[in-house]
Structure 1
């Protein structure tokens, strides 16, 4: 049985905003989906922006409200004006709040920008799921010592491994879902705990003919 939470629109403070070049939408979407399955509420433009809204206003608002801002550093980062603007906004928040806000994530054939010379980053190029665990641990306040010790025993290679590793150090992961998926899972056997949390049996969902292929594919990500 697993917890489910609605997506970023459910809360005024999503866990993390993903800043990325428009050329890296595929990478940003993949990362966002994985993080949703690993107990992080993600703000991603493709999921949140509606027709007619002000792009600048909505993104600026989300960057202020999100607890952290992930900057995707790829080969396209230095070629995109928008990502540099979002970097400056993230840096401004860091200075104002006097805490870590900006989380640089290295993906693909990235050229490491100068501003990372004195900043610790997460490299997702070779150990993607290891980087995901480190990111989840930081945002949820899990000690680096616990995470390091757990990964010395077994490095994660998929989402299921991430769940088992987090459970081994006392953190119970959950899935963050959009409202439509949340409602469908409730319809097919999910048990509502409170307004925005529920549990469900993944095997039951996978074996029900009435469950959409979309939801089955989501559940399948855990195995």
Structure 2
């Protein structure tokens, strides 16, 4: 199945509105997954819906009294939320068709408001896609991922990238946070390590974090807003690392992003060479040049 960009979740009782929305999105080149087009006679409805959500980058939910009382819509929303939590890349875009009981997990989210004027609502959705495209053009050939913490309002957000885990996030935030608070939030949400032992390499790594905006390092005490960072700004998360050699019991500052360090090779003690376990460690390490150390350090972030 060819992946689609936008899954349209709606009540069948709102089909006329959904038809118009799908027509307007496809008119401007936004591909959609829509049950009217993507479920054929004889298909398994649950199976096709699950496939549609799995292959969609965005999940638009049309919120109305009909939708909030629909078992199907609620099941689709639950599947999309799980996908977002698991960092697999689904953006949930609430669309408010009328006043209704909004699901608690969406009540604090920014939504496209169609209650009074259809044009205002569709412009808000297209603006959402437009900001994402601008950020992707700035960062290069990357896949954009939603932020896994959906408990924080996404009315304020920035785009976040790091070469360490090489993912590009649309991160919810509060522009009144200091840079230090922002880093603490990022490391906590993504479970980024401050220190991590890699016994298979005989190393204990320590990391420090910083934020870069427009190629300038930001002071930890500055607020995001005071650093001229606005909604939709693109930030880089700088991660510097040092490691302690558990075989030599010496700490080595091996790299800083963008800076090359010459690393003098050191021979292991003869007693270690006779030890099978340490021979395995040596084989795992290979030649500890800058690139090899970078690869080993990045293993500490493979969970992201």
| TM tier, smaller | 0.5 to 0.7
Quick one: distance in 2 between partners of 1:92 and 1:117? Answer: 17
Structure index of larger Rg? 2
* Structure 2 gaps, min length 5: 136-304
- The CA RMSD measured in Å over matched residues stands at 2.1
The alpha-carbon distance between structure 1 residues 134 and 143, as it changes in their structure 2 partners (threshold 3 A), is farther
Cross-structure match for 1:92: 82
The alpha-carbon distance between structure 1 residues 52 and 96, as it changes in their structure 2 partners (threshold 3 A), is same
Aligned residue among 108, 123, 132 for 1:133: 123
Quick one: distance in 1 between partners of 2:98 and 2:72? Answer: 19
Cross-structure match for 1:121: 111
Contact 1:107 1:124 in 2 (8 A): yes
Quick one: distance in 1 between partners of 2:109 and 2:125? Answer: 15
Quick one: distance in 2 between partners of 1:12 and 1:138? Answer: 23
1:118-157 per-residue CA deviation (whole Å, 9 max, x = no partner) reads 211111122322322222232342459xxxxxxxxxxxxx
| Aligned positions of 1:17-28 closer than 5 A | 17-28=7-18
Quick one: distance in 1 between partners of 2:66 and 2:59? Answer: 18
1:187-209 per-residue CA deviation (whole Å, 9 max, x = no partner) reads xxxxxxxxxxxxxxxxxxxxxxx
Contact 1:38 1:136 in 2 (8 A): no
Cross-structure match for 1:16: 6
Cross-structure match for 2:165: none
Cross-structure match for 1:153: none
Quick one: distance in 1 between partners of 2:128 and 2:68? Answer: 26
Quick one: distance in 2 between partners of 1:133 and 1:78? Answer: 24
Quick one: distance in 1 between partners of 2:55 and 2:90? Answer: 14
The alpha-carbon distance between structure 1 residues 111 and 55, as it changes in their structure 2 partners (threshold 3 A), is same
Contact 2:59 2:90 in 1 (8 A): no
Which structure ranks higher in relative contact order (CA pairs < 8 Å, sequence separation ≥ 6)? 1
Which structure has more strand as a fraction of its residues?
2
Runs of 4+ in 1 over 6 A off after TM superposition: none
TM-score by length of 2: 0.41
Q: Report how many aligned residue pairs link the two structures.
A: 134
| Aligned positions of 1:1-223 closer than 5 A | 12-97=2-87, 101-140=91-130, 141-142=132-133
CA drift of 1:56 comes to: 0.9
TM-score by length of 1: 0.55
